[in-house]
């Protein structure tokens, strides 16, 4: 079968012919229908995240949706032909083992989630990483609920999904995004106010601010903008370090918590939101043959939203 594989830092993915996988007792094989391209894939190629990869050549692709083509003898929850996704995980395909930039991929049964009818494969693939990361930040770490006043910093691929998640939970939305070209998009989602900087919402009594940018100044601005006893959820890592106002943090009893990825349960919740029409990724579709070029487009910053290869 075909597989796009990482071989060496600084070199593009190589299209190779490899053996089709066979499942162990607790595994299943998925016929890939859609695979999302991620900035983590760029990090694997440029050396930033390469130490996470246990061997090479390795097939990348950790945002996977498809149908079950074979099951191991111990698999009980899935059957051949069933629609499924594989949520992004360090121990999963595309990081610890061969991934979804291939015709087929094998995964542990416990990592796989059923895909509801009506959810397109491209939207499903995007939900496995960006979707669950945003949902986990807003719903779990942010504890957002109906009536919460929520500030979102950064309306990129993650931020737009975080904004939709907040609205789906019944929150009131305030968006801070320095790129004014997406302000109208923020309003179309349902934002009450849109501004260049989160500090512009200092008088809005925000309960939660989710920082999807993480450029240091954004974290500090969030601390100075949230209400007394409010919560900041840090997702973005635009900078490794931030200088923050400790007086504002301490005297206003502000909580600052981190949020990284999510769980299988988060992914299932995101898929339900997609099925209900409450959440949708901005997707650019490409073909299987374009995956290596697509990684280059991501690296050059040419992609708005999510890039998803559809095939199979």
What DSSP assignment string belongs to 234-254? E---SSS-----HHHHHHTT-
CATH number of 143-258: 3.40.50.720
Cα 126 to Cα 84, 98, 115, 168: the distances in Å are 13, 19, 13, 18
pLDDT at 240 over 90: no
Name the percent of the chain in helix, strand, coil, to the closest 5: 30, 30, 40
Burial label for 199, CB within 10 Å (0-12, 13-18, 19+), is middle
Segments making up each domain of the chain, as ranges: 2-127+262-310, 143-258
The pTM of this model reads 0.91
Distance CA 196, CA 206 (A): 16
Q: In this predicted model, what pLDDT tens digit does every residue of 170-226 receive, in sequence order?
A: 999 999 999 999 999 999 999 999 999 999 999 999 999 999 999 889 999 999 999
Q: In this predicted model, what pLDDT tens digit does every residue of 255-282 receive, in sequence order?
A: 999 999 999 999 999 999 999 999 999 9
CATH number of 2-127+262-310: 3.90.180.10
DSSP state at residue 102? B
pLDDT at 304 over 80: no
201 closest CA partner among 217, 173, 225: 225
| Contact in structure between 86 and 2 (CB atoms under 8 Å) | no
Q: In this predicted model, what pLDDT tens digit does every residue of 84-98 receive, in sequence order?
A: 999 999 999 999 999
């Amino acid at each position: 079968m075909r597989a796009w594989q990482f071989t060496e830092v600084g070199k593009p993915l190589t299209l190779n012919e490899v053996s089709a996988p066979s499942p162990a007792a607790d595994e299943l094989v998925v016929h890939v229908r859609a695979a999302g391209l991620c900035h983590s894939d760029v990090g694997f190629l440029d050396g930033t995240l390469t130490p996470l990869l246990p061997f090479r050549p390795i097939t990348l692709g950790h945002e996977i949706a498809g149908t079950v083509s074979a099951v191991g003898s111990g698999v009980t929850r899935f059957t051949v032909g069933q629609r499924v996704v594989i949520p992004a995980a360090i121990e999963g395909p595309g990081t610890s083992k061969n991934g979804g930039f291939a015709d087929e991929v094998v995964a542990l049964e416990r990592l796989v989630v059923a895909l509801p009818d009506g959810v397109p494969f491209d939207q499903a693939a995007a939900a496995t990483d960006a979707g669950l990361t945003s949902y986990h930040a807003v719903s779990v770490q942010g504890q957002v609920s109906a009536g919460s006043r929520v500030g979102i910093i950064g309306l990129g691929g993650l931020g737009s999904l975080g904004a939709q998640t907040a609205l789906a939970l019944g929150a009131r939305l305030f968006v801070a995004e320095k790129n004014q070209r997406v302000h109208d998009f923020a309003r179309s989602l349902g934002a009450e106010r849109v501004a260049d900087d989160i500090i512009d919402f200092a008088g809005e009594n925000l309960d939660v601010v989710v920082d999807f940018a993480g450029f240091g100044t954004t974290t500090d601005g969030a601390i100075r903008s949230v209400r007394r006893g409010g919560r900041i959820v840090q997702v973005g890592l635009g900078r490794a370090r931030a200088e923050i106002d400790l007086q504002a943090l301490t005297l206003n009893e502000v909580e600052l918590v981190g949020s990284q990825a999510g769980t299988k349960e988060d992914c299932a919740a995101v898929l339900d939101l997609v099925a209900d029409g409450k959440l949708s990724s901005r997707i650019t579709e490409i073909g299987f043959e374009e995956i290596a070029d697509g990684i280059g487009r991501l690296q050059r910053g040419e992609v708005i939203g999510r890039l998803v290869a559809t095939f199979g």
